[in-house]
Amino acid sequence: GESVGLHLPTLSVQEGDNSIINCAYSNSASDYFIWYKQESGKGPQFIIDIRSNMDKRQGQRVTVLLNKTVKHLSLQIAATQPGDSAVYFCAERTGGGNKLTFGTGTQLKVEL
């Protein structure tokens, strides 16, 4: 079946730098995307979401970009902090569906 996947399993960045986490999806019928952050021993925490009729959405220090032409989603974190260290998941909802399908995840490590 179609699935959501991530390009990089681990991303290391220096504190203060910007981070970019990428996600590829293959279901062109997906109409909603969402990013979650998961720290060790905790459940996924909502970061930001975007609908397929948008290309970009900004939050506090985070930006999500959606490129439907190449079926690519990215999460940008500005001025990365040690507290940003976690696993990041992208998830999609296929049009008309009622559940989110998650990708594998990217481990973000922030180096001091």
Whether the CB-CB separation of 97 and 85 falls below 8 Å is answered with: no
Q: Which stretch binds another protein (CB under 8 A): 10-18, 58-66, 71-79, 100-108?
A: 100-108
C-alpha distances out from residue 54 to 27, 50, 61, Å: 17, 7, 19
Stretch that binds another protein, among 12-20, 30-38, 54-62, 68-76 (CB under 8 A): 30-38
User: What is the smallest separation between the CB atom of 47 and another protein, expressed in angstroms?
Assistant: 11
CB 39 within 8 A of CB 16: no
Residues 46-85, interacting with another protein (CB under 8 A): 46, 49
Asked if 98 touches another protein (CB under 8 A), the answer is yes
